[in-house]
Structure 1
Amino acid sequence: MDRVDRLLALVAELRAASPEPLDPSALAARLRVSERTVRRDLELLTHGGLPVRQVKGRGHVLPGEPEPAALSEAESLTGPVHDTLAEAVRTRRVVRMAYTDQAGARSFRDVEAHGLVTAPYGEYLVGWCRMRDGPRMFRLDRIGAAFLSGRGAEVRDLDELLAALRVPVPRPPAGPGPRGPAGAERARAWTLDRLEFVRSRLRDAAAGVRSGGEGAAALRGVLGHLAEWTRWQAAAVRAAATGEEPVLAGRRPRFPEGFDREMPFDARERMIQDAMALRSLGELARDLQEVLEAVGHWAAGCDDALWEAELPDPRPYGPPGPPRPLADLLAGWRGPLAHIEWHLDRLTDEPPPRPSDDDEDVWVVDRCPLQA
């Protein structure tokens, strides 16, 4: 171990043990160096500004970092927005904020602050939006002002909030062999929860434009696209799971002859939009909701064995993808629920998070995922 790595390891050991002291002999044994080397390194770190204290007869201790001073309500309103949000997260408080979405519309929201997330393209507040009654991500550079209220946030799991926003893939078990009934129950429950969350987002989107909000034309086009492609995706996954012929749910419109033949994505999409143009926004929303309702009924009642198996991944173009669990096919990346949320994210103020190089839990592209 070179000197820099040894100093890093030494500080890490002190911080892990804090507020308890560590004897130099114990540190020497953990770092596999001499006690003399440890004492020399501690002296170097102390002179460099690390607040290491020696406790007589017990060793050395690194005090914990002091808690930051609490912000008053006035300071939260006049100080930097980031500081106010960090305080709200630290103290589990509700923050009142002025937020401007991508379309330039400003809203005032009460948000339970649960975490700050830094991504390569921005920093976000993760919380529970009380206006939307659901988890949301807010770009910090779109928060014009924030006020730290005296109300406490409800206890919510940050991982669960991120799971709802990031559409995570259920991981297969580490060991060999099929998953047991408990795994099937968890996979089914996770999928049904994701399904209900997506249905609620669709209801919110439709209600927003019906009540006078902008974006009705864009939403009509998206719903027409989603109704037909979700119908196809859900039927394809069900057929892959059961080996039966595809069952197309919902209210499929009459398409021209030749629609079901092989053709480029753009040509098929033009035919979908032409057929859907005759429908109202409400009819398109009902069609898509009926498709999702049929998915929910089938998922709730299908055999546990289907949730425990690896199934072919049907693709709109080309051969099937690598086998994946049923929960992944329905609610994970590239699945119909993730496809719906991908389009909704581009109509609202919640941008989809980007995956890291080693994280394939999220399907994010610059165009509709089905074209890939």
Structure 2
Amino acid sequence: MNRVDRLLALVSELRAAAPDPLTADELAERLRVSGRTVRRDLEMLVHGGLPVRIERGRGYVLLPAPPPSRLSEVASLMGPVHDTLAEAVRTRRVVRLAYDDRSGSRSFRDVEAHGLVVAPYAEYLVGWCRMRDGPRMFRLDRIGAAYLSGRATGMRDLDELLAALRVPLPRPPSDPVPRGPAGAARARAWTLDRLGYVRTRLREATEEVRAGSGGAAALRGVLGHLAEWTRWQLAAIREAAGEERVYAGRRPEFPPEFEGDLPYDTRERMIQDAMALRSLGELARDLQEVLEAAGHWCAGSDDALWEGTFPEPSPSGAPGPPRPLADLLGGWRSPLAHIEWHLDRLTDEPPSVPAVLEERGEDEEEVWLTDRCPLQT
């Protein structure tokens, strides 16, 4: 055991025994080192600030850390946002946030604070948003101010919130081994959670545009694209799993050549032309019905499907390598990851119209969102 591991083990033994003392000989026996080594390590830790009390004839006791002072509601507005959120998580209280989303729009949210998550490029508050009535993550650098209310939070499991918020990255795995939740029941539950979360994101994106936030043209193009491609992906996955290919939702009329072997650009233009006559609400309902049908199929499918692997359907070329059903539906290059990829980019800045016109010969600025679709690759 190296020195760092020995120090960790030493503190762990003292913490597990507290408030009872442990002698140097007892610690030495547990760590399989000499009593002299234990005493030397303890002396170093005490000089470094570890709160250890030496009781004559009894040994060493690790003292409990003093409880932090309770943050008042007024003080929560004056101190650092991080301190207010940490207090909200520690005391299980509702915190009110002034939050700016990616587009710069400010909203005021009552959030049941359940955890702080540190990621490589940002820190996040994980909680239950009472305005959206669902689990959410809030970037701390987008929280302008936080107010600690006197209201208690409900009892929710942080692991379940994190599982509901998990979003697979749209990139290939580093190795060819299929990944995904193990076991039929767990795989089905994970996939249904992902379906519910994606449906909520779609509903919120549509409601925001209807409320006047802008971006209606871009959202129309994306919803039309997503409705047909998601319909195709889910039907192809069912067929790969040995069942009948079923196109759910409200599929529009396409020309006969649409079912042939067409380049992506040609097929996408046919989709946009067919969807052009539909309203934003009709496009949203079509996609929601496709996902609802997928949920019914997932809930009623045999356990054997969730325990097997199936080839990944491809829009062109040979199918991909076999993957678990949950991974095909909710993992990398899945219908759900595809939807989230486009929703994440709705607030991106589009290229200038002259550049689009020069490169594509198009006169609709919103086509750039589907031109970069990962299904092309």
Letter in 2 for 1:329: L
Contact 2:309–2:325 (CA under 8 A) maintained in structure 1: yes
Contact 1:222–1:343 (CA under 8 A) maintained in structure 2: yes
What residue number does 1:296 align with?
295
What residue number does 1:26 align with?
26
Distance in 1 between the 2:63 and 2:374 partners? 50
Contact 2:95–2:113 (CA under 8 A) maintained in structure 1: yes
For residue 212 of structure 1, report the CA deviation from its aligned partner: 2.5
Is the counterpart of residue 92 in structure 1 residue 92 in structure 2?
Answer: yes
Contact 1:85–1:113 (CA under 8 A) maintained in structure 2: yes
Letter in 1 for 2:268: E
Distance in 1 between the 2:325 and 2:197 partners? 18
Is the counterpart of residue 273 in structure 1 residue 272 in structure 2?
Answer: yes
Letter in 1 for 2:96: R
Closer, same or farther: CA 24–319 of 1 in aligned 2, 3 Å: farther
For residue 79 of structure 1, report the CA deviation from its aligned partner: 0.9
Q: How does 1:316-335 map to 2 (within 5 A)?
A: 316-335=315-334
What residue number does 2:232 align with?
232
Pick one of 163, 176, 181 that aligns with 1:171: 181
Is the counterpart of residue 117 in structure 1 residue 113 in structure 2?
Answer: no
Closer, same or farther: CA 279–42 of 1 in aligned 2, 3 Å: same
For residue 83 of structure 1, report the CA deviation from its aligned partner: 0.5
Letter in 2 for 1:10: L
Is the counterpart of residue 315 in structure 1 residue 304 in structure 2?
Answer: no
Distance in 2 between the 1:79 and 1:271 partners? 56
Q: How does 1:40-59 map to 2 (within 5 A)?
A: 40-59=40-59
Distance in 1 between the 2:143 and 2:83 partners? 12
Q: How does 1:5-84 map to 2 (within 5 A)?
A: 5-84=5-84
Distance in 2 between the 1:151 and 1:242 partners? 52
| RMSD, matched Cα | 2.5
Is the counterpart of residue 249 in structure 1 residue 254 in structure 2?
Answer: no
Contact 1:113–1:153 (CA under 8 A) maintained in structure 2: yes
Letter in 2 for 1:129: C
What residue number does 1:136 align with?
136
Letter in 1 for 2:307: E
For residue 48 of structure 1, report the CA deviation from its aligned partner: 3.0
What residue number does 1:283 align with?
282
Give a deviation string over 1:20-73, Cα, whole Å, max 9, x none: 322212221232211122112212222333222112333212223222111000
Is the counterpart of residue 127 in structure 1 residue 127 in structure 2?
Answer: yes
Contact 1:101–1:348 (CA under 8 A) maintained in structure 2: no
Distance in 2 between the 1:226 and 1:326 partners? 20
Letter in 1 for 2:375: L
For residue 89 of structure 1, report the CA deviation from its aligned partner: 0.7
Letter in 1 for 2:37: T
Closer, same or farther: CA 255–159 of 1 in aligned 2, 3 Å: same
For residue 368 of structure 1, report the CA deviation from its aligned partner: 4.2
Closer, same or farther: CA 199–62 of 1 in aligned 2, 3 Å: same
Contact 1:167–1:333 (CA under 8 A) maintained in structure 2: no
Distance in 1 between the 2:61 and 2:268 partners? 66
Closer, same or farther: CA 64–262 of 1 in aligned 2, 3 Å: farther
Contact 2:191–2:329 (CA under 8 A) maintained in structure 1: yes
For residue 348 of structure 1, report the CA deviation from its aligned partner: 7.0
Distance in 2 between the 1:347 and 1:22 partners? 60
Q: How does 1:157-236 map to 2 (within 5 A)?
A: 157-167=157-167, 170-172=180-182, 183-236=183-236
For residue 307 of structure 1, report the CA deviation from its aligned partner: 2.4
Give a deviation string over 1:317-370, Cα, whole Å, max 9, x none: 443333333233223343212322333334479xxxxxxxxxxxxxxxxx6443
Distance in 2 between the 1:318 and 1:58 partners? 74
Is the counterpart of residue 149 in structure 1 residue 149 in structure 2?
Answer: yes
Distance in 1 between the 2:20 and 2:272 partners? 67
Closer, same or farther: CA 303–55 of 1 in aligned 2, 3 Å: same
For residue 216 of structure 1, report the CA deviation from its aligned partner: 1.7
Closer, same or farther: CA 65–238 of 1 in aligned 2, 3 Å: same
Closer, same or farther: CA 252–86 of 1 in aligned 2, 3 Å: same
Secondary structure of residue in 2 paired with 1:25: helix
- Unmatched 5+ residue regions in structure 2? 169-178, 349-371
TM-score between both structures, scaled by the size of structure 1: 0.84
- Unmatched 5+ residue regions in structure 1? 173-182, 350-366
Closer, same or farther: CA 315–27 of 1 in aligned 2, 3 Å: farther
Contact 2:93–2:150 (CA under 8 A) maintained in structure 1: yes
Distance in 2 between the 1:47 and 1:200 partners? 53
Closer, same or farther: CA 52–225 of 1 in aligned 2, 3 Å: same
What residue number does 1:362 align with?
none
Letter in 1 for 2:303: D
Contact 1:312–1:324 (CA under 8 A) maintained in structure 2: yes
Aligned residues with identical type, % of pairs: 76
What residue number does 1:101 align with?
101
Q: How many pairs are equivalent?
A: 344
Contact 1:234–1:295 (CA under 8 A) maintained in structure 2: yes
Secondary structure of residue in 2 paired with 1:207: helix
Contact 2:181–2:187 (CA under 8 A) maintained in structure 1: no
